[in-house]
Structure 1
Amino acid sequence: MHSLDERCLSYLAAAVSCGSVRAAADKLDINASAVSRQLAQMEEELATPLIERHSRGVRPTEAGLMLLDYHRRQRADRDDTLAKLGELKDLQRGHIDVVLGEGFVGELMSGLLQGFWARHPDLTMTLDLAATNDVVRTVIEDEAHLGLVYNPPPEPRLRAHARVRHPIRVVTRAEHPLAAQPGPLRLRDLAPYRLGLMHPAYGIRQIIAGAEQAEGVRLTAALTTSSISVLKHFVSAADGVTLLPAFCAAEEIAADRLAAHALAHPSLNAVEARVVTRLGRQLPAAAGRLLKHLCGGMAPGRSPAEAGMPAVHAAP
């Protein structure tokens, strides 16, 4: 048996994802002793342990994590190659997996995707919503071809193909008292009002936390949620205040139902939304078309109405 045998790697992946060798065997419909024997043989050949057994199941060692990452990349490359081979037969067909933050949905569906589907009506797509950290993980682990993410943490395994400047704004009802204040607002100006914020796993909340620390201010949230839609309802129906990039509420702002106010802190004005893929991944043709369309639609000089997003500078 070769040390990096595909079957053994699949056993390792199943054991880790299922939490135990027995659960993995049940999922694979084989004998648990066969799974244990193959994993033990691979550990012997590699001369290093790959899993640690505990009372609650198994977890990968550092070497096991390295092999799991290799297995995921190999599987993704295989799937992408098969997709490309299929597209050689029929270049009009293909499927694309995209993961994105909720705030991108409105602009994406009403802007960029309409033009894409008009040109490629037979391509299908899965759009999954996730928090910032989960968007990054999903793209790195090749569960999605590409991601749209706001303020991602530094990650050398990601490649940013386009970057859009999207400052965080104070979002209120148009007639809210904060709307009458001149000039950019400070975080401490929000203290008298009921504030709604995203969960800490979201890029919006992470950049706000950094600004709080820099200003020596601690914001108290009356509402914490994982939904931008909930925050907008909180603002419009409960007279609350929230912090969001303006594009998340573009429709409501254009209709004068909500208003966006600038903030004074520099870090809140330097935040970017990015289109990302895993570094080194060769996308199948369908996903490559969408990536090119997104980056082209977000090119410098395009108006928000044309692009679905504000002006952008291309990443190297």
Structure 2
Amino acid sequence: MHSLDARYLRYLAEAVGCGSVRAAADKLNVNASAVSRQLARMEVQLATPLIERHRRGVRATPAGSLLLDYYRRQTSDREDILAKLTELKGLRRGHIDVVLGEGFVGDLMSGLLQGFWARHPDLTMTLDLAATNDVVRRVVEDEAHLGLVYNPPPEPRLRTHLAMPHPIRVLVRDGHPLAGHPGPVRLADLAGHRLGTMHPATGIRQIIAAAERAEGVRLEPALTTGSIGVLTQFVASGAGITLLPAFCAAQEVAEGSLAALPLADPGLNAVEARIVTRLGRQLSPAAAKLLQHLARGMAGDARTARSCGRAAL
């Protein structure tokens, strides 16, 4: 057996992905002993351990992680070249996997995807919602062709195709006492108002926490959730206020039922929404078409929003 045989690399990928050799064997419909034997043979041939066992199963060693990156690249490149060959035959079909933060759903469903499918009706798509770190992981590991992510952490394996400024705002219901606040709002100005925020592990909440430290204030949320939809409903119902990028409630802000107030902290104004892929990945024709369509549409929306903002000043 060649140590980089794709079949046995898949054994490694499934063992790490499933968390155990037995679970990988069940998924692959082979004996667990066969998976263990081939993994051990790979380790002997490469003279380095590829997995390490712990109480909850197995995980990749640094060497195993390198092989997994190689396997994922090979798999995605093979899928993409087959899609391109299909395209050359004139069969205009394909499937696209997209992973995104919840706040992007409104933008996509308000017209961007309808326009895409009007041009490419035979293309299919999977849209999965995920938190920032999971969006990055799934794009880097080729589980998704494209990612739409808000303020991702530095990641050298990501390629950014479009970066749009999307500062965090105070979202309040029309008529709320803060709606007439003169000038940018400081975090200290939120004291005394019922506040809803995202969970501390989310990227948005971590940005806000850094601003709290910079201003020397501590916010005490009345509501903590992992759902942007819950927060926008919290504000729309008059139950309180929240801190989110304005695009998360773009329709409500455009209709005038909610207002998006600027914040004074520079860190809250220097954040971006991005469209990303794995660096070096050759996208299939279907995914490349969607990337081009989203980049053009979202950049146009950003220009319109900036123009409207200047007109309102």
Indicate the TM-score class for this superposition, using the shorter chain for normalisation: over 0.9
Give the Cα–Cα distance (whole angstroms) in 1 for the partners of residues 250 and 172 of structure 2: 13
Q: CA deviation digits over 1:95-115, x for unaligned, max 9?
A: 111111111111122132222
Partner of residue 218, structure 2: 218
Are 2:124 and 1:124 aligned? yes
Whether the 8 Å CA contact 1:149–1:273 is kept in 2: the answer is yes
Give the Cα–Cα distance (whole angstroms) in 2 for the partners of residues 151 and 282 of structure 1: 24
1:66 deviation in Å?
A: 1.3
Whether the 8 Å CA contact 1:185–1:264 is kept in 2: the answer is yes
Partner of residue 52, structure 1: 52
Partner of residue 67, structure 2: 67
State the TM-score, normalized to the length of structure 1: 0.92
Are 2:275 and 1:268 aligned? no
Partner of residue 87, structure 2: 87
Where 1:125 maps in the other structure, the secondary structure is strand
Of the structure 1 ranges 62-71 and 182-191, higher mean CA displacement relative to structure 2 is found in: 62-71
Letter paired with 1:209 = A
Residues 42, 112 of structure 1: alpha-carbon distance in 2 compared, 3 angstrom cutoff? same
Partner of residue 195, structure 2: 195
Partner of residue 100, structure 1: 100
CA RMSD for the aligned pairs? 1.7
Give the Cα–Cα distance (whole angstroms) in 2 for the partners of residues 243 and 147 of structure 1: 23
Extract unaligned runs of 5+ from structure 1.
312-316
State the TM-score, normalized to the length of structure 2: 0.93
1:56 deviation in Å?
A: 3.1
Alignment of 1:293-308 (within 5 A): 293-299=293-299, 302=300
Extract unaligned runs of 5+ from structure 2.
308-313
Partner of residue 314, structure 1: none
Whether the 8 Å CA contact 2:173–2:238 is kept in 1: the answer is no
Partner of residue 165, structure 2: 165
Letter paired with 1:150 = Y
Give the Cα–Cα distance (whole angstroms) in 1 for the partners of residues 161 and 23 of structure 2: 40
Which of structure 1's runs of 4+ aligned residues deviate more than 3 A? 307-311
Partner of residue 311, structure 2: none
Are 2:162 and 1:141 aligned? no
Where 2:237 maps in the other structure, the secondary structure is helix
Give the Cα–Cα distance (whole angstroms) in 1 for the partners of residues 60 and 289 of structure 2: 36
Whether the 8 Å CA contact 2:246–2:260 is kept in 1: the answer is yes
Partner of residue 243, structure 1: 243
Letter paired with 2:39 = L
Partner of residue 20, structure 2: 20
Letter paired with 2:169 = R
Whether the 8 Å CA contact 1:96–1:145 is kept in 2: the answer is yes
Give the Cα–Cα distance (whole angstroms) in 1 for the partners of residues 215 and 77 of structure 2: 46
Identity of aligned residues (%): 74
Whether the 8 Å CA contact 1:133–1:201 is kept in 2: the answer is no
Give the Cα–Cα distance (whole angstroms) in 2 for the partners of residues 26 and 233 of structure 1: 43
Give the Cα–Cα distance (whole angstroms) in 2 for the partners of residues 241 and 24 of structure 1: 46
Letter paired with 1:100 = L
Residues 169, 3 of structure 1: alpha-carbon distance in 2 compared, 3 angstrom cutoff? same
1:47 deviation in Å?
A: 0.4
Q: CA deviation digits over 1:158-198, x for unaligned, max 9?
A: 01001111111100111111112211100111121111111
Give the Cα–Cα distance (whole angstroms) in 2 for the partners of residues 92 and 223 of structure 1: 47
Give the Cα–Cα distance (whole angstroms) in 2 for the partners of residues 287 and 308 of structure 1: 26
Q: CA deviation digits over 1:266-313, x for unaligned, max 9?
A: 1111211011000000000011011111222244xx455xx88768xx
User: How many residues are matched?
Assistant: 307
